[in-house]
Amino acid sequence: MFDGFEIADVDVGEASIHVRHGGDGPPLVLLHGHPRTGATWHRVAPLLVERGFTVIVPDLRGYGRSSAPVPRPDHSQASKRAMADDILSLMRTLGHDRFDLVGHDRGSYAAFRLAMDHPDVVRRVALLDCLPIVEHLDRITPEFATEWYHWFFFAQPEVPERVINADPDAWYHGDPEAMGVENFAERREAIHRPEVVRAMLEDYRAGLTVDRADEEADRSTGRRLTVPTLVLWSLRDDLERLFGDPLAIWRDWAVDVRGHGIDSGHHVAEEAPEQLTRDLSAFFSGEG
């Protein structure tokens, strides 16, 4: 995976961020989701390098080979603002003062927070398979609660750790052929470390507490994304079925938003890398 990319572990203060980076051109950061690592981008990142980007692929704090602070009672160590600050420090260390940004799944919340808080740093942002957390919570239905029950299960103290660590492979199953053998192996190594499982659960606990409060504060004051925003969603996932047109919701949160669905399941970077690369390249090149 990531042939020609450099690999580093960068101290950003509270955490050490494991990162792959390569290419020569405008800097573009790719943030993964749960329970993946940066390796989920292994089919997309080289294609973006071929299209002229410098591509930076970190593991979020607590995921994969990045470290995480000890959990706090308020879960703030796993907040998306903390994750966003990690990426900001990482990029400055790598010599990039302004950059483009992509986030998928949980990584999209870190990308959203970074673009919201630092529009002077983020040039454009793409958000994949997500809505703001408070928009999900405002639309809780029996269908959402059933299909997305993990949000609320993960928020419980201690029990999820015991359940998942008893058999991580059974909980986080996956197909090595579909994911890519090395990507699957990297994720498998991570989920067998209890400290990673704990940190990933803390991500969700922060989502329902400190991150929700941050979004509610944004909404109450009318704060919106001011950078050009691309929203993409997987047509064979359940986002559109549960919530309708994602763009209609995101228009309340972004000044300049566009996007569409992609014929893929949820893990779009693994399942539809060529289409995703075309869409991202067009957007970040100013063509779409």
Q: Kindly list the catalytic residues.
A: 105, 266
DSSP 8-state code for residue 88: H
- From its phi and psi, is residue 199 left (phi > 0), alpha (psi between -120 and 50) or beta? alpha
In angstroms, the first-to-last Cα distance of the chain is: 29
In DSSP notation, 211-236 reads HHHHHHHHHHHT--B-S-EEEEEETT
85 in Cβ contact with 105 (< 8 Å): no
Contact 114, 88 (CB under 8 A): yes
DSSP string, 94-118: TT-SSEEEEEETHHHHHHHHHHHH-
CA distance 151 to 266: 16
